[in-house]
Every structure is written in C-alpha cells, then in structure tokens.
Structure 1
Amino acid sequence: MKKFIALLVLACVANVSAAADIVGNAKAAKVEQCIGCHGIPGYKATFPEVYSVPMIGGQSAKYIENALIAYKKGERKHPSMRGIAGSMSDQDIADAAAYYSQQKK
C-alpha cells in the first residue's frame, strides 16, 4: 500500500510539473473565438446579462492563464467563457496568454 501511495504522489507531482513546463507560442495561438468580444473597444455582451467586455491585450500571460484555467474549472462563473476555456487544451491556454500578453493595451 505504501508503494502505491508513493507512486500516486509521484504521478501527481509529474503531472503538475508537466503542466508548468508548457511554454506559450503567440504565433500558434487560436484566438479567433477571443477576438470577437475581447478585440472590440467598448464592446458590450448581452449574455447572460449586459456587461462591458474587457480588452485583454497587454495583460500579463500569467493572469490570462490563471483566468482561463479558473473558467475551465468552473471557479469563475461565466457560461460563455466556461465553454470556451473548457474546449482549450493547456497548450491552447498558454498560447492565447502569450498572444494577448504581447498586444498593446
């Protein structure tokens, strides 16, 4: 049993370190879904309520990654963003974060 627990812990640590090793590639970013809302100055969405959509260009990559991961896990509550983030791989998230972090505010 101790060997099983040790292997389980090792597997979890390896998984965390593998996710931390992902490097975003701004040129590979699939941001077509993002631009439709986050690329329009002053844009207001109407689902699930009317709100101003933030411009995310120039945000730090870490902030964008953390936000997308939180949407994916359901820790941030927005149906559209949860669906979009939920469809993204860890690499997609890193790439989008790299892309937007290189944009101007």
Structure 2
Amino acid sequence: MKKLLALLVLAGTANYAAAEVVGNAKAAADNKIAQCVGCHGIAGYKSVFPEVYSVPMIGGQSAKYIESALNAYKKGDRTHPSMRGIAMSLSDQDIADLAAYYSQKK
C-alpha cells in the first residue's frame, strides 16, 4: 500500500512539474506592465545604474525569449541589479503573462 501511494504521489508530482504556465496578455496589460514601461517603453532609453546601459525595446521579442531572460535574472544568471530585483518579485504566472503581452507588441 505504501509503495502504491508513493507511486501515485510521484506520478502526480511529475504531471504537475510538466504543466506549462500559459501567459495571459490581458492580465499583464491590466496590472503587470507598470514596472516595465518606465524603461522598456521609451525608445533609446539608457539607464545609469549600475552603469550606462542601453535598455532594449522588448516588444515583439518571442515569448520564450522573454520568459528565459526573466528567469535568468531571477536565478542570478543575468546580473543587472534592477532587472534581478524586479524578476525576483515575479511569479511564474507573472513572467508568462508579461512574455505573452510583450511578444504581441511591436
């Protein structure tokens, strides 16, 4: 009985881990883009912390690229301090929603 229960738990965990979070562009537009538009919504914008850095326009990037970049900031693989702080505050759903929103923009 214990083995069967353990297998069921393991199978349920595997299915949960494999579930992909689906982004909702409208949810991002309604309440999640405020942190982004101040820098990424201004053509030619340059940040000055921690150094002068040309901020990329992210509209039109693929959703997978945006998700990958935000997750890399969240894990510390990308090191821009402002982006890391923002990414660490985002849930997987937030990241998927933002990626869906910006992938549809030009």
TM-score bracket, shorter-length normalisation: 0.7 to 0.9
Distance (Å, rounded) in 1 between the aligned partners of 2:50 and 2:8: 44
5+ long unaligned stretches in structure 1: none
Give matches, 1:1-105, under 5 Å. 10=11, 13-18=14-19, 20=20, 22-29=21-28, 30-104=32-106
Q: In the TM superposition, what is the alpha-carbon distance from 1:90 to its structure 2 partner?
A: 0.3
Gap change, CA 1:55 and 1:15, over 3 Å in 2 = same
Runs of 4+ displaced beyond 2 Å: 5-16
5+ long unaligned stretches in structure 2: none
Identity of aligned residues (%): 72
Q: In the TM superposition, what is the alpha-carbon distance from 1:32 to its structure 2 partner?
A: 0.5
Say which one has the larger Rg: 2
Q: In the comparison of the two structures, how many residue pairs are matched?
A: 100
Q: Which amino acid aligns with 2:71?
A: I
> TM-score scaled to structure 1, two decimals?
0.85
RMSD: 1.9
Distance (Å, rounded) in 2 between the aligned partners of 1:67 and 1:57: 14
Secondary structure, counterpart of 1:54 in structure 2: coil
Gap change, CA 1:57 and 1:17, over 3 Å in 2 = same
Secondary structure, counterpart of 1:100 in structure 2: helix
